Amino acid sequence: MDFDNKGLRFSKRKRVAAVCVLAVLALACAGFGTALKRPLSVRRDTFAMGTLVRISVCGRNKAELEAAAAAAEAEISRLEELFSVHIASSEIARINADPEKEGGHTVSAETYGLLKLALKEAEETGGAFDPTIGAVVSLWGVGSERARVPDGAEIQSLLDKTGWAKVRLWQTSNAAKPSETIYRVSAGGGQKLDLGAIAKGCAADGAARVLRGHGVKSALINIGGDLTVLGKSPRGRDWRLGLQLPDGPHGEYFAVLAASDAVIITSGAYERYFERDGVRYHHIFDTKTGRPAKSDLVSVTIVMGRLEAEGNAARCDALATALFVMGFEKARAFLRAHPEVQAVLAAEGGEGLEVFITEGLKNRAELSKGTTLKADAGEKR
Ligand code: AMP
Ligand code: MG
């Protein structure tokens, strides 16, 4: 993309909602079959990483496209089995079972790499994104049948067990095989890891890598509404990608972005929550309070060119969560300091949604009726 400044259990309702999201986001692929040269398209849907995953690939050879999409899907499942806190045999679940294990835990290069990026993003965002939020996430149980509002003392006791700074990562070599690197992790303060805010992005990066390895030039990877597009759409144009209207019917967009070779990842309070006594408790936590973040934003979309670097989708994923926690002013300050990151910040306005759009996206965003630009949107960053 050519920007100018360069694990979970799901309720039935949630699954239905996710199906709707995918169904409507399929609009983005509407070019399949109608392009002049009629490229072939292959689509695979599955349920992974706690959500619906759709991989759409486009090219000339059906068998090759099918093999590529199947391999990308398998890669997502493979990564889920490493990272999910809900799979008891995953590497992250193993660490959580004994965070302070003497000598640390040996993990794969993939888990090590994602934890390394997660710690970097935690530092970069001042802890707004914190991969050691696991105990707090599990206490509230948002999105599960045991969701509840814990009392202050319970929260406080677990807050003492969060904090990314005490996670240690180090490498050693295998004495028997010196060329082999051994990756180790330990969480010094007994912290519980939760990579839910970054793992979907990492899986998208992995799937994109696999598709590229299979020679795929045009594809859309949709992991629960987080989108990665390879190349241009089958019509040879930018993909048109809808941003979900928070709390609107699934598939109703507040904006459409035109993009190619890009990652477009959204976090919002409307994605998963429960209600008690008229109060909404959502799934994105403020690591300072151990409670759902009181953000003045309703959704944050982070956009980056996919080809700039490996790991972009994972970074976008972490940042979408972090900027939501930060709220409007801090998120804007972050974006000013990180011009390589493009974003759409959406807040409730008097009459509909008000959005701030970074300079590099201004000419790529089409706002829907009822959505207004925040007055200072588009200022030079
Ligand atoms: P996302 O949908 O990418 O915003 O990620 C939300 C998920 O990340 C939640 O369901 C939790 O598992 C986890 N999470 C919640 N709050 C945070 C936070 N402040 N930092 C890191 N992970 C979080
Ligand atoms: Mg995220």
Minimum-distance ligand 1 atom for the alpha carbon of 143: 10
pLDDT of residue 37: 55
Amino acid residing at 380: K
pLDDT of residue 307: 60
Cα 302 to ligand 2 centroid, rounded to whole Å: 10
Residue nearest to atom 20 of ligand 1 (CA): 129
d(CA 215, CA 110): 23
The best mutation among 132, 164, 194 to test binding of ligand 1, ranked by most ligand atoms within 8 Å of the C-beta, falls on 194
pLDDT of residue 311: 74
Q: Going residue by residue through the chain (381 aa), what tens digit of pLDDT does each one get?
A: 433 322 233 344 444 444 444 444 444 444 444 444 578 999 999 999 999 999 999 999 999 999 999 999 999 999 999 999 999 999 999 999 999 999 999 999 999 999 999 999 999 999 999 999 999 999 999 999 999 999 999 999 999 889 999 999 999 988 888 889 999 999 988 899 999 999 999 999 999 999 999 999 999 999 999 999 999 999 899 999 999 999 889 889 999 999 999 999 999 998 899 999 999 999 999 999 999 999 999 999 999 986 655 679 999 999 999 999 999 999 999 999 999 999 999 999 888 899 999 999 999 999 999 899 986 644 544
Residue nearest to atom 15 of ligand 1 (CA): 284
Q: What is the DSSP string of 288-336?
A: TTTEE---S-SEEEEEEEGGG-TTHHHHHHHHHHHHHHH-HHHHHHHHH
d(CA 116, CA 151): 33
Q: Which tokens is 310 given?
A: 């490996």
pLDDT of residue 376: 60
d(CA 289, CA 140): 13
| 206 Cβ contact list (under 8 Å, min separation 6) | 72, 75, 76, 78, 79, 110
Cα 268 to ligand 1 centroid, rounded to whole Å: 10
pLDDT of residue 321: 98
Cα 264 to ligand 2 centroid, rounded to whole Å: 11
pLDDT of residue 262: 95
pLDDT of residue 309: 57
